[in-house]
Structure 1
């Protein structure tokens, strides 16, 4: 088995591609060792003591190194952990139940959109799913819709995109421009 590695716009995060599916559907973001307790793979990555974030995408794993960590020493450790996991075909989540494959409820809740905005919200979600999400996944991350109020779209960046120095520019110049172009009711995009 060969695991490819790609850089991301976030210098603290590398994207690892094992050449097979990681998540059968959805994504999963682990921002702390406590979050990672449900996944033996994420837990093993945090146990290096040099990892501050793990993100599972459809066919990749993004790993964020702690400030000051040199990727030249951490990368071989991460590759070894990933190889051990995928070669052994170990379960991604403890208990092997499907609940591990969904986003935790507190991460998937939106802000309670106004039913009168249903058509606008549908357009926004469609653009996020078809145009924005694939681009963000290409950079080792994901984007979550949180809500739409008074012309403002609230989004959360995950994986390599969370904490990335260019995430504000991505939200404001890229995503906001696209949404404003296709959905005139959108006046602004904010991180949630």
Structure 2
């Protein structure tokens, strides 16, 4: 049986790319706009777990994918092509008939650069955890088997685990060009083996309790700040492999204290993002109540 291979082809729309196969894949055409619509297509479901995938189109001899603007095709197209080829040669069914059993989706992980040169994001095509975990060292990671294993790599400095990705902060002495393949392969195999990512009792950094305490009995301005961060800021920083958490609001000084995690922590552009982005947004949407936004580094 001939191995299925794909050829990357640009389209007239910058956000859509085609992966054309060397043989007919399916009869008919199918368009999926979200993961719920893709319930009968294991491949489309797999692709929708990638945060940049907006739409999937499967036709006779090609698979087209539309992306959100959080990435450029040049950054992810080769790994996406490899992921689809692996699925097709598994072999994997593209679209199930109503009476066909659902196939097990193979685990894939792709690497994505972030604005922080010290941090790289490794995105899985399945859900990893229910909540975010940040580990600054191996001691903090004792209840996260995955993070503990990652700290065994001498170049791993910090680990941040979110819903479907792992952000790794490396030591300055390491180069991503030399270690990315090793880290990506390790994480993919770890997930494929069904090992525990983090236990229910995984301990967050000590400031977690501070955040929880600070978010009880909040004033109206603090509640507004949290809502705005959740709605406008968190999705954007998550796409870059990080997270932002509200810590406190001081009405006297009109200062908002936030915690940057993952790729956002220590990122050279974080100050610009805070001042030109988040601070300005909060000043405009909560006029007269915001003086400055300060990142609290732990």
TM-score (norm 2): 0.59
Larger radius of gyration: 2
SS in structure 2 at match of 1:153? strand
Q: Tell me if structure 2 keeps the 8 A contact 1:55–1:158.
A: yes
Higher relative contact order at CA 8 Å, sep ≥6: structure 1 or structure 2?
1
> Could you say which residue in structure 2 is the equivalent of 1:125?
226
Q: How many residues align?
A: 186
* Distance change in 2, residues 1:19/1:114 (3 Å): closer
What is the CA–CA distance in structure 2 between the aligned matches of 1:186 and 1:152, rounded to whole Å? Answer: 6
> Could you say which residue in structure 2 is the equivalent of 1:187?
291
Deviation at 1:68, TM superposition (A): 2.1
Structure 1 alignment gaps of length 5 or more: none
1:30 aligns with 2:135: yes
Structure 2 alignment gaps of length 5 or more: 1-106
What is the CA–CA distance in structure 1 between the aligned matches of 2:187 and 2:121, rounded to whole Å? Answer: 12
Q: What's the C-alpha RMSD, in Å, of the aligned pairs?
A: 1.9
Q: Tell me if structure 2 keeps the 8 A contact 1:41–1:81.
A: no
1:139 aligns with 2:240: yes
> Could you say which residue in structure 1 is the equivalent of 2:120?
14
Q: Tell me if structure 1 keeps the 8 A contact 2:140–2:205.
A: no
> Could you say which residue in structure 2 is the equivalent of 1:148?
249
1:99 aligns with 2:204: no
1:2 aligns with 2:108: yes
What is the CA–CA distance in structure 2 between the aligned matches of 1:104 and 1:70, rounded to whole Å? Answer: 27
* Distance change in 2, residues 1:92/1:13 (3 Å): same
> Could you say which residue in structure 2 is the equivalent of 1:43?
148
What is the CA–CA distance in structure 2 between the aligned matches of 1:55 and 1:152, rounded to whole Å? Answer: 27
Deviation at 1:74, TM superposition (A): 1.4
TM-score (norm 1): 0.90
| Bigger fraction of residues in helix | 1
